[in-house]
């Protein structure tokens, strides 16, 4: 029964009530008639008060739109708290509604978001279904494992269940056989209920990255200079940090693939910055490029030992399906969003003078 049907029923009841009063026999005295009228009116008002209740709009605002049903709370406590929070105008009718529909023992604990104009019946259904609030946490493309690990540990809605002091402990918990955790977690938004163990988010993210990587590896272009899919993930992470315009991902991948095929250093600034850690102060100098670390792709040939960030699926696909290009160089243009691609060092140097003055 919807609200329109209810209005029709109430209108019919009201007309029937008035009609019956008009037919009242004159054998009753005026005081008796007044008494009968008053009793009938009270009955009719009570009837409307009860029957219309399941479908009325509750007064929900920003101040009371979030509601928590605590574990172990009984129906009386839940109802009283709804009244205290000004969600329900009274407790009696909500209790009657729950009793008549046999739902007093079915409410589930959790956090709930109450929509504006929600009705008592809709509220009761929501609490019985247990469709509580799912909170989001987002890992962004190009961020590091450390960035997102801090985000998880600082989220007070997650249950800080696992204590670990090193990457080795975490790798064991997650069943990861790679030596480094960097780049192994897929950048996405993950939804969770309050009290979800923190490790569950990392498990979801790691498993999703493996699924994405396996799918892309299966559909890769033949003949790529990668020994395994982990090397492809490393290249994808470098592409991710080089990107200004995501449409250029496959072109940048093509440049790196060309360099790897001839044994030419990748010479990627983001790898140098990653290797410098806290020593990077915001501006990369020529001197910095010459400071040797295991991530410096100017001083070392080949790939760094691990990814340098969380790559998105488009950069993973680009690394495994690079554009066919004769370019070996690229430099950011003045807009810092797109790149100029060059085949020769001479052309590249001219582009650097043009765009990096």
Long-range contacts of 86-95, Cβ-Cβ distance < 8 Å, separation of 24 or more:
86/59, 87/58, 87/59, 87/60, 87/114, 87/123, 88/58, 88/120, 89/58, 89/59, 93/49, 93/50, 93/53, 93/120, 94/120, 94/124
Report pLDDT for 144.
Answer: 96
Phi, psi (rounded to 5 degrees) for 329:
-140, 155
Distance (Å) of CA 345 to CA 103, 238, 254, 313, 351:
76, 21, 16, 31, 10
3-class state of residue 113 by DSSP: strand
**Closest listed residue to residue 289, CA positions, set 271, 307, 303:** 271
Beta bridge partners of 126: none
Upper half-sphere CA count for residue 163 (Cβ side, 13 Å): 0
> Residue 162: CB partners within 8 Å, gap ≥ 6?
173, 197, 198, 199
Q: How far is 143 from 154, CA to CA, in rounded Å?
A: 16
Phi, psi (rounded to 5 degrees) for 178:
-70, 150
- DSSP element (H, E) containing 143: none
Report pLDDT for 204.
Answer: 95
Report pLDDT for 147.
Answer: 94
Q: How far is 26 from 23, CA to CA, in rounded Å?
A: 9
Upper half-sphere CA count for residue 165 (Cβ side, 13 Å): 0
Contact 38, 24 (CB under 8 A): no
| The pair of three-digit structure tokens given for residue 277, joined into one six-digit string | 């850690």
Report pLDDT for 42.
Answer: 60
**Closest listed residue to residue 246, CA positions, set 325, 334, 316, 342:** 316
Number of residues that this document lists for the chain: 357
Query: Rounded to the nearest 5 degrees, what angle is found at the Cα of 8, between the Cα atoms of 3 and 13?
Result: 120
Please identify every stretch of the chain with a pLDDT value under 50, giving residue numbers as ranges. Answer: 1, 6
């Amino acid at each position: 029964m919807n609200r329109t049907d209810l209005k029709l029923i109430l209108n019919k009841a009201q007309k029937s009530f008035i009609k019956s009063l008009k037919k009242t026999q004159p054998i009753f005295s005026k005081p008796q008639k007044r008494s009968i009228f008053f009793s009938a009116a009270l009955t009719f008002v009570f009837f409307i008060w009860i029957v219309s209740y399941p479908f009325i709009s509750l007064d929900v605002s920003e101040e009371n739109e979030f509601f928590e049903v605590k574990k172990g709370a009984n129906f009386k406590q839940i109802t009283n708290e709804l009244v205290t929070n000004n969600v329900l105008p009274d407790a009696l009718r909500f209790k009657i509604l729950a009793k008549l529909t046999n739902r007093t023992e079915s409410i589930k604990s959790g956090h709930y978001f109450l929509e504006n104009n929600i009705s008592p019946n809709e509220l009761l259904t929501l609490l019985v279904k247990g469709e509580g609030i799912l909170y989001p946490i987002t890992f962004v493309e190009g961020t590091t494992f450390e960035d997102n690990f801090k985000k998880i540990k600082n989220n007070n809605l997650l249950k800080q269940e696992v204590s670990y002091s090193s990457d080795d402990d975490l790798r064991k918990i997650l069943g990861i056989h790679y030596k480094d955790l960097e780049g192994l977690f897929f950048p996405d938004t993950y939804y969770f209920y309050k009290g979800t163990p923190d490790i569950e988010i990392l498990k979801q993210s790691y498993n999703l990255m493996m699924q994405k990587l396996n799918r892309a590896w299966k559909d890769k272009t033949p003949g790529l200079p990668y020994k395994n899919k982990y090397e492809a993930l490393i290249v994808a992470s470098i592409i991710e940090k080089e990107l200004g315009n995501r449409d250029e991902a496959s072109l940048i991948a093509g440049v790196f693939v060309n360099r790897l095929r001839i044994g030419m250093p990748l010479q990627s600034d983001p790898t140098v910055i990653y290797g410098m850690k806290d020593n990077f102060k915001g501006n990369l100098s020529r001197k910095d490029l010459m400071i040797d670390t295991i991530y410096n792709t100017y001083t070392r040939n080949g790939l760094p030992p691990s990814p340098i960030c969380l790559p998105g699926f488009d950069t993973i696909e680009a690394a495994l399906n690079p554009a066919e290009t004769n370019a070996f160089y690229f430099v950011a243009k003045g807009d810092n969003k797109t790149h100029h691609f060059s085949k020769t060092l001479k052309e590249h140097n001219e582009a650097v003078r043009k765009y990096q003055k």
